[in-house]
Amino acid sequence: MPLGDAIVSTPLAQRLIDWPLLLGGLALPEASRQLLNSMVGLRSLRQGAAIYRHGQAPTHLYAVCQGAAGLGRNRRGRADVLMQSFQLRRTVQEGHWLDLHTAWLGCTHELDACALTTPTLIMEWPIHLARPWLTAQPDVVMALMREMAAQVHIFNTDLHDLLSKNALCRVAGWLMRRAGPHTRFQMDERKRDVAAQLAVSAETFSRMMRQLEQRGLVQVDGYDILLLDRIALIRLARDH
C-alpha cells in the first residue's frame, strides 16, 4: 500500500484485517465480515506520522493491522509533523485497538497516537457507521467490551508496577508483555521512550537489561531481544 491517505477497499481489507484477532477470537459470519470490510479504511503510515492528536474529537475506531503504534504526548504539538518530540507512554502492537473508550464517552482524545514503524498499517472504522451496525450485533459489542476491559487491565497493571515494584521487576514485566507468546522480538521503540514508560532513566533501563543478560535471562543484540528464560522473567516480574 502507498503511504498516506486512507484507502477503502473490501478486497484489501479482507486480505489485511484479522477480525478474529481484533475481536478476541470471535468467528464472524462471512456476510458480517464482508460488511465490516466495506465500512473500514486502511492507512499506511511512516514512522512518526500522526494517527490522531490529543484534543481531537474521535471520528473513528482505530486498530493496528501491521507494525506498531505509540500512545503518548507530542510536546511541540502540530508543528512537529513527524512527532520528533513524541514522549511514548504505551506501545500498541498489531492486532490491537487504539483508545477504544474515547469514542463512546463523547470526549476528546487524551493522548497523541503515531506510527512507530515504517510502514504501520492502521484500520480506521468510522464511528458514524459503527454505531448503527453494532446495535444489532451483541456478540461484536461484547467482544469490543472485553478488548476495552483488557486495555483497562493493562493500564491498572502498569500503574501498580510503577507504584510497587523496583526497576528490574518493571523491566522484566515489560519484556514479558512486549514479547507476548514469542521468545524473540525487535524493539520498535527508542530505548529512552521505553525507559520513560517504566519511570526510569535511559541509563537505568540499559543497566537493568545488562543485569538480565548477565543472569542469562535475555540476550540483547542492539534492538533484537531474545528471551532465554521466560519462567525466571515471569517470577521476577511478579516480585514486589
The helix/strand count (H/E) of the chain reads as: 10, 11
Predicted pLDDT of residue 240: 58
Residues of the chain with pLDDT under 70: 1-4, 77-84, 240
pLDDT at 9: 84
- In this prediction, residue 10 carries a pLDDT of 84
In sequence order, what DSSP letters do the residues of 135-160 get, joined into one string? TT-HHHHHHHHHHHHHHHHHHHHHHH
Q: What amino acid occupies position 65? A: C
Residue-level pLDDT at 84: 65
Query: 10-150 has which CATH code?
Result: 2.60.120.10
CB of 141 within 8 A of CB of 181? no
- The residue ranges of every structural domain in the chain are 10-150, 166-238
Would you state the pLDDT for residue 154?
A: 85
The number of CA neighbours under 13 Å toward the Cβ of 34 is 3
Q: Cα–Cα distance between 178 and 158 in angstroms, integer?
A: 13
CATH 3.40.50.1980 fits 166-238, yes or no: no
